[in-house]
Amino acid sequence: MSFTVPGKTQSMLREILPRLVLSPSLFLILIFVYGFILFTGYLSFTDSRMLPSFDLVGLANYTNLWGQRNWMTALQNLAIFGILYIAICCILGLILAIFLDQKIRGEGILRPIYLYPMALSFIVTGTAWKWFLDPGLGLENTMHMWGWSSFTFNWIKDRNMAIYTVVIAAVWQSSGFVMAMFLAGLRGIDGEILKAAQMDGASNWSLYTRIIIPQLRPVFLSAFVVLAHLAIKAYDLVVALTNGGPGRATELPATFMYSYTFTRNQMAVGASSAVIMLAMIAAIIVPYLYSELREHR
Amino acid sequence: MSSYASQKSAIGAGKLVRAALYAVLILFAVYYLLPLFVMLVNSVKTLDEIRGGNMMSLPEHFTFEPWLTAWSTAQIGVEPTGLRPFFVNSLFLVVPAVVISATLGALNGYVLTKWRFPGDKIIFGLMLFACFIPFQIVLIPMARILGLIGLAGTTSGLVLVHVVYGLGFTTLFFRNYYAAFPDELIKAAKMDGAGFIRTFTRILLPSSGPIIVVTVIWQFTNIWNDFLFGASFADFDSMPMTVALNNLVSSSTGVKEYNVHFAGAILAALPTLVVYIVSGRYFVRGLMAGAVKG
């Protein structure tokens, strides 16, 4: 394509063209992201049930929401799931990264093995783990067959323990990714500092606890932000692994929103739960993005 | 690098320590491989053998039947179609959605770094935040809009959805990549009279290979693996692979054919696994770029 428009028109085109190119995307984002957020926000103050309604009812849906036992279960589960998921992924990821960073032979084979679950759909992960954790078919059955007849592992059928099976499957899927982040962080540390510390007689343990791990602070922060937002959005894994059960024992905010909006005909309550989810994520993401964008000005 | 590496090898000098190190690392490799192994092994067993046997044991009677069933005759809805039509649906969804969102992302990244204008930072901030929203916040209005513009329950509708919610990430990837591209080259091209489009196609695009690969892999994996949008906006004829797989696995009618479920799950995982095996290095970079902003 060539522009042989003379002088003034050309310079005007130069001014406008970049903005013109950006405008479809901006339009889409403004409507489909921010417009939709406003729409859902508005719905959360209405009496919408099966279809959207525009009659305002004040904060009724929010008081209703916080009075729902299912919502409280969902929040409690999110707290358990989120804390364990983030903590275990970080600890496991850090340990694996440090171990892999010891000039390990076969690192090129091990690393992709740790990481491949991240390429899978949560539905696939859920299908695999549902079976693996099923007492009659999976691990428990296998242990019995191998002669350990007193072995029991029926968490997935147990109301009080089922949420922990979601943690197990989610950690399996994401911890390799966290490992890769930490490994990149470790490889980026300046060798001179370590040399100096070793000259001063620092032991290996204190080398890691005093110097290396503190230097990984930005990686911890990134890992936290990524994992926290994955936890709040977690939906597919629960659907495939437990489908929210047994009973409603593994309900999370995302499954709550879906069932209230689309199967229970309580759209306004569903909308208000979505608003709360957005608020949770914004509370984590906005400060993070703000600081990141400022640093790189 | 080398002095640092040698120090670290000194850290784990003891032979016993190193043996323990390897033991732990291999143990975790087993942990990550186990579910895949179980799926693979049981997808080639007969149903009787699965019921009566050990999930870890290798098949006594190797059969490829479950794979064929999963692919072409398993009952997903009313008809015994197998997963094939839904695999095709996912392909028709992924290809246009990836191409469009990556193209728009490249152009956005180019404008936001090389043709800056007042307010561009705010626009980028708006796009960046859009990457992280919980999609529950857009489900209700999206269902309405798709209905209004006549795209409800169609693959085109899903393409639109994935383009819109992928834009933030594709723009982010290209913006970060182009930000590191020397401005002098752009200035020189502008001096030579190259316009907006020619500067892009002649100067930036030829050196964009790596970031294009990263973006395409990222978008491909995310869209292929998506479940929420597929479950919310597709009807039976446009259902993507993940939704069909979930229907297959969780259908409560009839005998549960676990071997077919596993074959189906591996079929659903295959495209992203292949992409990952072929270009794992880029896959990791994409994950990192998505994680570490700036």
- DSSP of A55-120: -B-TTHHHHHHHH-HHHHHHHHHHHHHHHHHHHHHHHHHHHHHHHHTTT-TTHHHHHHHHHGGGGS
In this structure, of B22-31, B79-88, B222-231, the range with the lowest mean pLDDT score is B79-88
Q: Establish, for the pair of chains A and B, how many residue pairs have beta carbons separated by less than 8 Å.
A: 292
> How does residue B271 score in pLDDT terms, banded at 50, 70 and 90?
very high
Q: What is the pLDDT of residues B159-199, one digit of tens each?
A: 999 999 999 989 988 998 898 888 888 888 888 888 888 88
For the record, the structure tokens of B143 come out as 């269902």
Contacts of A146 in chain B (CB under 8 A): 54
d(CA B83, CA B218): 24
For residue A270, being part of any structural domain is answered with: yes
pTM (two decimals): 0.88
Between the CA of residue A170 and those of A30, A63, A235, A250, B24, what are the distances in Å? 33, 32, 11, 13, 21
User: Under an 8 A CB cutoff, do A99 and B21 touch?
Assistant: yes
Residue B12 scores a pLDDT above 60? no
Residue B238 scores a pLDDT above 70? yes
Cα-to-chain-centroid distance, residue A242 = 18
Residues of chain A with pLDDT under 50: 1-3, 5, 297
Task: Identify which of B257, B52, B233, B271 has the alpha carbon closest to the alpha carbon of residue A127.
Answer: B257
User: Under an 8 A CB cutoff, do A96 and B275 touch?
Assistant: no
CA distance B79 to chain A (A): 22
Closest partner residue to A36 (CB to CB) among B9, B137, B224 is B137
ipTM: 0.86
Residue B226 scores a pLDDT above 90? yes
- Residues facing residue B153 across a β-bridge: B234
User: Under an 8 A CB cutoff, do B32 and A24 touch?
Assistant: no
Test the A interface: residue of B137, B197, B243 with most A CBs within 10 Å = B137
User: Under an 8 A CB cutoff, do B273 and A120 touch?
Assistant: yes
User: Under an 8 A CB cutoff, do B141 and A223 touch?
Assistant: no
Contacts of B7 in chain A (CB under 8 A): 191, 194-195, 198
d(CA A156, CA A286): 36
pLDDT at position B289, please? 61
CA distance A276 to chain B (A): 9
Closest partner residue to A52 (CB to CB) among B144, B272, B294 is B144
d(CA B168, CA B164): 8
What is the domain partition of chain B in residue ranges?
Answer: 2-73, 84-291
CA distance B96 to chain A (A): 16
More confident residue, B110 or B194: B110
Query: Average pLDDT in the B53-59 region?
Result: 81
What is the helix (H) or strand (E) element at residue B235, kind and residue range? none
Count up the domains in chain A and report the number: 1
Between the CA of residue A140 and those of A241, B35, B280, what are the distances in Å? 17, 15, 34
Between the CA of residue A198 and those of A101, A121, A145, B11, B228, what are the distances in Å? 17, 45, 52, 10, 51
* Contact predicate A56/B146, CB 8 Å: no
- Residues facing residue B259 across a β-bridge: none
3 state DSSP class of A46: strand
pLDDT at position B187, please? 86
Residue A187 structural domain: 68-295
pLDDT at position B136, please? 92
Q: pLDDT averaged over chain B?
A: 86
Q: Decide if B70 touches A, using CB distance below 8 A.
A: no
Residue B282 scores a pLDDT above 80? no
Query: Average pLDDT in the B96-116 region?
Result: 94
Degrees, nearest 5: CA angle B276-B294-B127: 85
Task: Identify which of A195, A108, A102 has the alpha carbon closest to the alpha carbon of residue B4.
Answer: A195
Closest partner residue to B134 (CB to CB) among A13, A267, A278 is A278
pLDDT at position A156, please? 82
pLDDT at position B294, please? 34
For the record, the structure tokens of B127 come out as 């796009």
Q: Decide if B134 touches A, using CB distance below 8 A.
A: yes
Q: What is the pLDDT of residues A179-235, one digit of tens each?
A: 988 988 888 887 788 788 878 877 878 888 888 888 888 888 888 888 988 888 889
Coarse DSSP helix, strand, coil percentages of chain A, rounded to the nearest 5 percent: 75, 0, 25
* Contact predicate B158/B224, CB 8 Å: no
Contacts of A140 in chain B (CB under 8 A): none
User: Under an 8 A CB cutoff, do B140 and A43 touch?
Assistant: yes
DSSP string for residues in A110-170: HHHHHHGGGGS-HHHHHHHHHHHH-TTTSHHHHHHHTT-TT----GGG-TTTHHHHHHHHH
Contacts of B132 in chain A (CB under 8 A): 229, 281, 285
User: Under an 8 A CB cutoff, do A142 and B56 touch?
Assistant: yes
d(CA A33, CA B211): 25
> How does residue B4 score in pLDDT terms, banded at 50, 70 and 90?
low
d(CA A20, CA A27): 11
Q: B84-291 belongs to which homologous superfamily?
A: MetI-like (1.10.3720.10)
Backbone CA torsion sign across A290, A296, B5, B10: negative
User: Under an 8 A CB cutoff, do B164 and A32 touch?
Assistant: yes
Closest partner residue to A281 (CB to CB) among B38, B133, B228 is B133
What percent of chain B shows pLDDT beyond 90?
Answer: 43
Closest partner residue to A128 (CB to CB) among B18, B35, B168 is B35
Angle at which helices B155-179 and B120-130 cross, to 10°: 130
CATH of residue A99's domain is 1.10.3720.10
> How does residue B2 score in pLDDT terms, banded at 50, 70 and 90?
very low
pLDDT at position B291, please? 52
CA distance A111 to chain B (A): 9
What's the number of CA atoms in the CB half-sphere (13 Å) around residue B221? 27
Degrees, nearest 5: CA angle A275-A280-A281: 100
User: Under an 8 A CB cutoff, do A40 and B265 touch?
Assistant: no
